[in-house]
Each structure stands twice: as C-alpha cells, then as structure tokens.
Amino acid sequence: MNKNILLFFVSILSFSLYGQVGDICAGERLVDPIFSEVQITESVQFGVGESALFQEYPLLMDVYEPVGDDLDQRPVVVMAHGGSFIAGDRKNQVMVETCTALAKRGYVAASIEYTLWPIVLGFPDSTDLIDIITRSIGDMKTAVRFFNEDGLNDNVYKVNPGLISVGGYSAGAIIACNLGMLDAEDTLSEFVQNSVDNRGGFENLGSRLDYSDEVISIINFSGSIYNLDFIDENSAPIYSSHGNVDATVPYNFGLTGGIMTSHGSGNIQVRYDSLGLESELYTIEGGGHTDIFTEAQFQDDIDAMFTGLYAWNKDQVCSIVTSSKDLVATTAEIYPNPTNKELNVIIPAEIGASYTIELYNQIGQLMYTSQSFNDPRAQINVSGMTNGMYLAKINFDEEYQTISKRIVVAK
C-alpha cells in the first residue's frame, strides 16, 4: 500500500471540505449503525469483463449508501461474493447483509460481480483457476478505480478515493487478499506469471487504468493467498475471520476447493506478525466454511467478529484522515487562478519555514516539484503544463501542515 498516494487522495478532496473529512471519524460513525435506512442502487456497470471464453460482458455491482448522510467524502468498501469461482453473484446473502451493515455505519459499500469459470468447460484445474483469479483481481481493481474516478470527478456516490477498502467471502476474499498483497515487485511462479502476462502485466489488470487501485485495508472472510511471499511491507492492513476446521479454504495451509494449495487466514496472520504489519484475526473455533454464517451456534462469534471489524477498519480510515493533524495549520494565497503562465504563492511572513511546491494532475501523478523557498513570496512557471485542473501542494520542512489548493491552467 502506497500511503503517499492515499494521503494525496484524501488531501485532493479535503482541501475545501476538511471539516467533512474530519467528521468521518467523529463519534460512533463507522462503528455503530447511526443510519436506519440504506439506499441500494442496483446493477451499476463499473466495467467490462472478459470471460474464459474470451467474450466481453458487463461487470455489475449494487451500491449501498446511508440515507440521510450529508458527508461528501465517505470511505468505500468493495466486497466480492463466494462461490468457488464457478458460481455466485452480487445478491449473495453474506454480501447483502455486510454491505447493508457497512452503509448504516456511514460507508459506501459495493457488492460486485467478477469473472467466473464457465462450468460448461468442466471443472477447472489449477492453471484454469489461477487464470480466473487473475481475471477477477482485474475486475476488483476496476471497481476500485471506478470509485476513484467518481470521487475525483462527478462524485456521484460522495466518496473519498483515498479511503477505499476491499473484501469478500471465500473466493471473493481470495481476490481481495491478492489485490491488497500482490504487487509488480513480487516473484511469481511460472504459470502465475504467464497468467498475469497474458492479461498485459500486473499493473494492467482490469480497466480504467488512468486511476489508482490503491486500498487502505483488506476484509478477509475465510480467504487465502497462494504464496505467503506475496505479503511484504507494501501489503495493505488486513482483518481476517476464519473457521479453524474449514475444509474448503484451509485455515492454515492445504488444498483450496480440492484444486490447489493455498495459505489461509491463520498463516496470513503469522506472516503479517513476523513482518510487524497491521493485522487482526478472529478465529471461529469449530467453524467450517459456510456454517459460520448459517448456523445459530456461531451467531455470537459472527456478532463479535463484526464488532471488532468495525472498530478495526475505522482505525485504518482514521489513521489516513488524521495523519497530519498533529501539525500546525496555516494558510496561503495562490494567484492568479486560472493562470496561463506564472503562479504566485504568498504564505504568512511569520512562519519563517522553508517550503516546496508540488503540482499533481487529477489522477494523482506528480507533474512538478519546485526548488526550496525561504521567502514568504514565491513564483513558479507553469507555461509548460497542459491545460487542466491541478492540485497545488505547499510542503513545509518543519511543523506546519501541507496546504492544498486546486488551481486551473488555461492558456
């Protein structure tokens, strides 16, 4: 997880709505069901998938939002159903209940569909399964980028693209674990690498590639990861729950769906602990794969697990939102805006701190970095920038918060 990218997305939306971003963490929001009603927008197309038969089809999701919420910069959780990569859809009961519960706590939650293996081809072998998982990782990446794109543009769903989590149950959790842990620097086995290369490379999985697929956390219900070496310092924080007698997806290590071996939540937790990474595991003693969500004997465990999840994920959200609050807030004047050639910056003379100026485009790419200034007045030349909207960030060397302002270059 690249925290600098996440902080950028928080700041690009919070510079004029900082109170709203701060309100995300106020009171019992994100923990208790402070909203009684949820609006569900069904069959939202977030991308185009490609089946194992190389046929394109619409990728659909249902979006859950709290009714009566006036915040514009809400965190997002993208969830994916189970079904062994051969069945299931966005109406899965675990997904419906989880997304509803998240929306009542102030999240925007989405239950997505993803590429499945067509059973008309028979049951998949391990190579087939890896290929389907690779495609479905791209599908989830596309969903993350969908909300990223929306938050940076029309913001129909009132989201902050720096505050997106991914999760799922069973197969959906496997997708989320891979998305949050696997990156282009990881060493892959030959047949996994071939699958990724056939999709254009890890960074090109899915679509909407102009937007980030960075996430702040993983929510893992009975999922696994193919190789523990995928977990490194770049892996996103993870909250896992898993029955310790799961015979479908192993709690520690074993055959997954009877097809290939993988490491379940127990081994994932051990690996995270060994690296000092943020993680939490709720083990459901005596729980299998599906009975933990269907049998009354596990209801107390499920309730306790969700209570822990809400508090834990709020910590992940708020660690991003509040990361600069210990610094002193200040102001700056930037003009003219729009500009066609030069940009003037004035900071309060009493600050006396050196600073630099950065310009980012709308998808978070750093386009310009200035020299270090010591004078309260500075000027930068933007004549070489293309027309468009940018985020200007004034970064101080000492105790002051970064100042972020949106500017327009128009020639």
321 Cβ partners below 8 Å, 6+ apart?
Answer: 10, 21, 22, 24, 25, 163
Distance CA 76, CA 356 (A): 32
Shared domain check, 143 and 42 = yes
Q: What is the share, in percent, of the chain residues with pLDDT greater than 90?
A: 67
How far are the Cα atoms of 51, 107, 136 from residue 160, in angstroms, in the given order? 31, 10, 24
Is 327 part of any domain? Answer: no
Domain count, the chain: 2
The pLDDT, as a whole number, for residue 192 is: 86
Percent of the chain with pLDDT over 70: 92
3-state SS, residue 204: helix
Instruction: Write down the pTM of the prediction.
Output: 0.81
- Are residues 304 and 404 part of one domain? no
More confident residue, 12 or 26: 26
**pLDDT band at residue 16 using 50, 70 and 90 as cut-offs:** very low
Examine the domain organization and report whether 309 and 342 are in the same domain.
Answer: no
Report yes or no on 251 lying in a domain: yes
**Residue range of the domain that includes 367:** 333-409
Q: Which two tokens stand for residue 392?
A: 């200007």
Tell whether 218 and 367 lie within a shared domain: no
Beta bridge partners of residue 366, listed in sequence order: 360
Dihedral sign for Cα 144, 145, 146, 147, please: positive
DSSP calls for 318-365: HHHHTTTTTSBP---EEESSSBSSEEEEE--TT----EEEEEE-TTS-
Asked if the peptide bond before residue 75 counts as cis, ω within 30 degrees of 0, the response is no
Query: What tens digit of pLDDT does each residue of 122-134 get?
Result: 989 988 999 999 9
Same domain? For 281 and 354 the reply is no
Last residue of a domain, one of 291, 321, 351: 321
Please tell me whether residues 151 and 9 are part of one structural domain.
yes
- At 226-244, the pLDDT tens digits run 999 999 999 999 999 999 9
User: Considering the domain boundaries, does residue 328 fall inside one?
Assistant: no
Q: What is the CATH number of the domain that holds 371?
A: 2.60.40.1930
pLDDT at residue 327, rounded to an integer: 66
Among the three residues 273, 293, 321, which one is the final residue of a domain in this structure?
Answer: 321
When pLDDT is cut at 50, 70 and 90, the band that residue 14 belongs to is low
226 within a domain of the structure (yes/no): yes
**Residue 189 sits in the same domain as residue 278:** yes
Q: Is there a single domain that holds both residue 365 and residue 223?
A: no
* pLDDT tens readout for residues 292-327: 999 999 999 999 999 999 999 999 999 887 664 556
The CATH number linked to 296 is 3.40.50.1820
Please tell me whether residues 175 and 70 are part of one structural domain: yes
